[in-house]
Structures are given as structure tokens and as C-alpha cells.
Amino acid sequence: MHKMAINMGSSSAYRQKGAISKRLMIFGFLALAIMAGAWAYISAGFSSDVKKIGQGKPAVVIMFAYSDDASANLKYGYKKIRGKYEDSVEFLLVNIHSPNGLRFLQHTKVKAGTALHYDGEGKLLLELIGPKDVVTLEESVKTTFKI
């Protein structure tokens, strides 16, 4: 009888470990889905393809971090004016904590909350440190790219 109680106890412990692993897996999946959804919402309409820099079309690159208010301000401001200029200027959003952002930061030593304006050949023309109002952002695009 005593032996049977020990086996039942270990069997129960085994089931608990399996249940915990299953819960962790479900939690991890949900967290990943939420983060992906949040990134899709935050980056709505912005590409993160930095290979577009220097391909003939000027580019504005917004260096972004979730926890940075200046980043959110710049993203919001450029989102407001993007429709007027997207035919002539690429608007890119780079999450500085993503693999793409970390690679980009190896070549550009800037912080989140910075917008970089590149000409069509990939030459850096302007480094704009946020936050900025929409009028200032629009003027910087018109002035820098002579639009």
C-alpha cells in the first residue's frame, strides 16, 4: 500500500510538470501573437526594409523603440504627412531592438527617437532628434528633399 501511494504521488507530480510545460507553451504563443499584433499596429504602413536606402528614392528612417516617447512622436508625425510624400520619399520604421534594427545600428550610431533623412544614393542628409511637431517634420521633408 505504501509503495502504491509513492507511485501515485510521482505520477501526479509528472502530470503537474506536463501541465506547467503546456501552460508555458500556451503563454509563450499568446505573448508572441500579442507582440506580433502590436508591431503590426505600430508599424502600420511603414516598411522596415533598410535595403531601400540608396536605391534612387530618398528615405526617411525613423529609429523606433516601444518604450521611447520621442519614437512614438516621430512615427505619429511622419504617419500624418506620409500620404503627401510617399510617391517621392520612402518612409521606413526601424525597431532598434529587432535583428534588422541591431544590424542597422552597427553602421549608424543613433538612438531611438531619431529620424534620418537619406538622399536617393544613400547619403545621410539630416539627423533629426525628436520629438517634433507635424509642421516641423513636414518642413524638414520639403527642405531636405527639395519637394
DSSP 3-37: HHHHHHHHHHHHHHHHHHHHHHHHHHHHHHHHHHH
Please determine, for residue 39, whether its predicted confidence score (pLDDT) is greater than 50. Answer: no
- CA nearest to 126, candidates 136, 134, 118: 118
- CA nearest to 119, candidates 72, 53, 66: 53
The CATH number of the domain covering residues in 50-145: 3.40.30.10
- pLDDT tens, position by position, 44-68: 578 989 999 999 999 999 999 988 9
- pLDDT tens, position by position, 84-143: 999 999 999 999 999 999 999 888 889 999 999 999 999 999 999 988 999 999 999 999
Pair 92, 53: CB distance under 8 Å:
yes
pLDDT band at 31; cut points 50, 70, 90: low
- The distance between the two most distant Cα atoms of the chain, rounded to a whole number of Å, is 88
Give the pLDDT score at 17: 59
pLDDT band at 40; cut points 50, 70, 90: very low
Pair 50, 124: CB distance under 8 Å:
no
Give the pLDDT score at 96: 93
Give the pLDDT score at 30: 62
Q: Kindly calculate the radius of gyration of the chain based on its CA atoms and give it in whole angstroms.
A: 23
Please determine, for residue 22, whether its predicted confidence score (pLDDT) is greater than 60. Answer: yes
Stated pTM of the model: 0.70
Give the pLDDT score at 3: 53
Please determine, for residue 41, whether its predicted confidence score (pLDDT) is greater than 90. Answer: no
